[in-house]
Amino acid sequence: MQRLLAAGTLAVITGLALAGCAADPTGTVTLQVSEFADDYDSDSVEVALSIGGEEFASVELREGDGRAIEDVPLGWLKIDALDYCSGEAELSATSPTMGLLISGDGSCAFTD
């Protein structure tokens, strides 16, 4: 009986400890370059992600490249394709994804 009680107590303590260690919710940002505009004078673009004004990640993309950045903290997100375009949106639990598509006509499309 005492072993059963001890095992039950240990299970409850373990369950409570694990519940306290639950990871904060995060989102995913996808970045894709189909092609650059004809007048863009570089073969790549640096794309920086900032959360609340602080840089979270930075990647270099070339034509045809695509990347998914996972575990992005929720909050106000700025995607800045340096010297090309930028946009801002809120990454939230109800809208945990955001994307950027750079297309050949010189435009940037932001998606959620």
**Inside any domain, residue 5:** no
> Quick check: 61 pLDDT over 60?
yes
Residues of the domain holding 34: 25-111
The torsion of the CA quartet 14, 18, 20, 23, rounded to 10 degrees, works out to 170
Query: How far apart are the C-alpha atoms of 14 and 52, rounded to whole Å?
Result: 35
> Quick check: 79 pLDDT over 80?
yes
The pTM (predicted TM-score) of the whole model is 0.76
Q: What's the whole-number mean pLDDT along residues 79-92?
A: 92
What is the number of domains present in the chain? Answer: 1
Chain mean pLDDT for the chain: 84
**Inside any domain, residue 93:** yes
The tens digit of pLDDT for each residue in 9-32 reads 444 455 545 555 667 899 999 999
CATH number at residue 44: 2.60.40.10
**In 3-state terms, what secondary structure has residue 3?**
helix
Please give, one letter per residue, the 3-state secondary structure of 4-38: HHHHHHHHHHHHHHHHHCCCCCEEEEEEEECCCCC
